[in-house]
């Protein structure tokens, strides 16, 4: 199969989905209103709540939800063949992931910018809210520890990416100042920033920087400590100073790389060398349900609901912008995942080269193998355009590291909100402040990462995939309860919710059996706890759905009033 044909077909599938299904969901189901007051205007503080241009916010949201997820997931899932991976990415994005992201953003916008987990208290009950918050905090703890390790390993694998990544920070600060303090044009600022970034990429390619083992004699651990300190600073600064402009720049970078990759595919027209289907792989988990867990961010991911209701909603200028940012952002990520699949199946040149890389699950599952497959495959597309191979690999590596970094600093900010919400509930005042909550988020991630010299997060990483997808199912559950209580059509979220909860529960039980066989009591114990938390939340939701006219700490009249609140000035 020619990779160009697939790229074109998927692109138009997403475009049609956005214009048809996305419009139907946003207008007929959620009823977006451009005049409804958004939390960004209602609570504007120029720190967390900052009304933003929809394209700037699109860039911030897209790079936040992307990270390394849509790269590492598809890069390993193609071991089962490119057809099942592609089908899940395309249809999962359109009918599950995009609705999940969009629904989470609108739900939060209608509830004063609260997180989905906090809104659970109003819709289901206080116990469900606490359980959801704890599950979210646990998942984010793993994200912070592991993504710090991922970036550290990428810096070590691709030292040419170090200089452009760190020089991007002062450039992003300058762009934020230009847009918000000088009322400068965001297109001009973004364009200049991207030009500078690629100048840094060329310089970094020929001036690679290797980190010495300054802390505990280990360069990886040294990077982890530096990255956690950076994340603390980024999470406490006003969002317009660094987080948003950096994500905006990175979104431009991604589009440039995607365009270059597509042009490379047009020029080279590489044929997919990987098999369409491949089962019976040595030491691999079951194809179903684990396909739907391995490919998360490229199709649907619970982390996206945290991002949408954690940082993005606080910058939403108009409610109607949610279609582009929520639904459109996920479709764009799906296209990125599609290009990753093509890079990891058509970028090898021959079946023997691909088979050597994916000879077994153990070999293909390593971080180096995942990222290396995309960087090498994507780089081969760029070299077809005449770009020198070394620079091509650095361009792709910088894109991967940039996304991982934006996920990490955004995750720190979201964890700050979650910890503050929990601290308020349990009346722990020191942790209820932004500084205290952010510090606690970083310290706990540091403690976990410190095990095995920066690699401690990998101990719990096997639990993240299923727990992340479980949170996607639970977020859809909360959105479904909301729609039911407002007497709106709910099948469009209920069907994806049932599917995700069923697949992830199946995967978690299968993993639990495997942990017990291995004698891994830590992962076995945590798996049981997560499954019990899931069952508890579902039972509470079923009780509420059995009588949607009633519910703890929630009044339908107030919900309907908020849902129809329009005509207020955003000035």
User: What domains appear along the chain, each with residue ranges and CATH number?
Assistant: 3-276+286-563 (1.10.4160)
In angstroms, the CA 379 to CA 391 distance is 9
pLDDT at position 266: 87
In this structure, the number of other CB atoms found within 10 A of the CB of residue 432 comes to 17
pLDDT at position 232: 93
DSSP state letter for 295: S
pLDDT at position 550: 59
| Helices 329-346, 243-268: inter-axial angle, 10-degree rounding | 40
Q: Return per-residue pLDDT of the chain as tens, 571 residues.
A: 788 899 999 999 999 999 999 999 999 999 999 999 999 999 999 888 999 999 999 988 998 888 677 888 888 899 999 999 999 999 999 999 999 999 999 999 999 999 898 898 888 888 888 888 888 888 888 888 888 888 888 898 889 999 999 999 999 999 999 998 988 998 899 899 999 999 999 999 999 999 998 888 889 889 999 999 999 999 899 989 988 899 888 888 888 888 888 898 888 888 899 999 998 887 788 899 999 998 988 899 998 998 999 889 999 999 999 999 999 999 999 999 998 899 889 877 788 888 887 887 776 556 555 666 777 778 888 998 999 988 998 998 888 888 788 888 888 988 998 999 889 888 898 999 989 999 999 999 998 888 877 777 667 777 888 888 999 999 999 999 999 988 999 999 999 999 999 999 999 999 999 899 988 888 899 889 889 888 888 888 888 888 766 554 444 444 444 444 433 444 4
Number of H helices, E strands in the chain: 26, 0
Provide the sign of the torsion angle of the four alpha carbons 486, 491, 492, 493, taken in this order.
positive
DSSP state letter for 160: G
Helical (H) or strand (E) element with 52: none
Longest dimension (CA), the chain: 66
**pTM as predicted:** 0.86
| Helices 457-485, 126-157: inter-axial angle, 10-degree rounding | 140
In angstroms, the CA 43 to CA 112 distance is 8
Give me the residues paired with residue 316 across strands.
52
Which residue shows structure tokens 């991976």? 85
CA atoms within 13 A on the CB side of 289: 18
In angstroms, the CA 317 to CA 553 distance is 29
The token pair at 336 is 């990125």
| C-alpha distance from residue 214 to each of 82, 217, 444 (Å) | 43, 6, 22
Residue 416's nearest CA partner among 442, 389, 387, 390 is: 442
565: left (phi over 0), alpha (psi -120 to 50) or beta: beta
pLDDT at position 559: 46
């Amino acid at each position: 199969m020619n990779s160009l044909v697939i790229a074109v077909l998927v692109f138009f599938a997403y475009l049609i989905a956005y214009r048809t299904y996305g419009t139907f969901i946003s207008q007929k189901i959620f009823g977006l209103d451009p005049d409804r007051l958004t939390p960004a205007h209602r609570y504007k503080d120029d720190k967390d709540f900052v009304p933003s241009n929809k394209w700037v916010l699109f860039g911030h949201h897209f790079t936040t939800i992307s990270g390394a997820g849509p790269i590492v997931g598809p890069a390993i899932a193609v071991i089962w063949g490119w057809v099942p991976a592609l089908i899940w990415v395309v249809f999962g994005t359109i009918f599950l992931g995009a609705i999940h992201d969009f629904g989470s953003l609108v739900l939060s916008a209608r509830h004063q910018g609260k997180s989905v987990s906090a809104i659970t208290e109003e819709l289901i009950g206080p116990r469900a809210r606490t359980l959801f918050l704890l599950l979210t905090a646990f998942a984010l703890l793993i994200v912070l520890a592991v993504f710090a390790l991922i970036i550290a390993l990428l810096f070590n694998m691709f030292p040419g990416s170090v200089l452009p990544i760190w020089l991007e920070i002062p450039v992003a600060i300058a762009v934020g100042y230009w847009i918000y303090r000088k009322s400068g044009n965001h297109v001009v600022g973004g364009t200049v920033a991207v030009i500078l970034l690629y100048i840094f990429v060329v310089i970094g390619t020929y001036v690679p920087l290797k980190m010495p083992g300054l802390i505990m004699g280990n360069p990886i651990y040294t990077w982890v400590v530096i990255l956690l300190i950076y994340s603390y600073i980024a999470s406490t600064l006003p969002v317009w100073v660094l987080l948003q402009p950096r994500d905006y720049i990175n979104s431009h970078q991604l589009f440039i790389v995607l365009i270059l990759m597509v042009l490379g595919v047009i020029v080279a027209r590489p044929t997919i060398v990987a098999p369409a289907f491949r089962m019976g792989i040595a030491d691999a988990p079951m194809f179903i349900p684990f396909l739907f867990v391995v490919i998360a961010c490229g199709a649907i991911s619970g982390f996206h609901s945290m991002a949408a209701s954690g940082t993005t909603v606080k910058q939403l200028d108009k409610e109607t912008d949610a279609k582009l940012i929520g639904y459109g952002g996920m479709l764009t990520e799906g296209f990125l995942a599609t290009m990753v699949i093509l890079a990891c199946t058509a970028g090898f040149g021959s079946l023997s080269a691909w088979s050597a890389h994916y000879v077994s699950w153990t070999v293909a599952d390593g971080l180096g193998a995942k990222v290396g497959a995309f960087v090498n495959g994507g780089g081969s597309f760029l070299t077809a355009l005449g770009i020198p191979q070394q620079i091509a690999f650095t361009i792709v590596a910088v894109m991967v590291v940039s996304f991982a970094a934006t996920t990490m600093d955004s995750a720190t900010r979201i964890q700050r909100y979650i910890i503050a919400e929990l601290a308020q509930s349990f009346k722990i005042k020191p942790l209820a402040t932004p500084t205290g909550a952010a510090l606690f988020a970083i310290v706990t991630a540091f403690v976990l990462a410190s095990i095995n010299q920066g690699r401690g997060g990998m101990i719990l990483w096997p639990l993240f995939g299923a727990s992340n997808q479980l949170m996607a199912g639970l977020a859809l559950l909360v959105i479904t309860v909301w729609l039911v209580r407002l007497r709106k059509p709910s099948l469009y979220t209920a069907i994806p919710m049932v599917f995700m909860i069923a697949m992830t529960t199946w995967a978690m039980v299968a993993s639990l059996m495997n942990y017990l066989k291995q004698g891994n009591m830590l992962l076995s114990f945590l798996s049981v706890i997560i499954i019990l938390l899931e069952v508890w939340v579902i039972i509470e939701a079923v009780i509420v759905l059995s009588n949607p006219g009633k519910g703890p700490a929630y009044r339908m009249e107030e919900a309907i009033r908020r849902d129809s609140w329009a005509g207020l000035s955003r000035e």
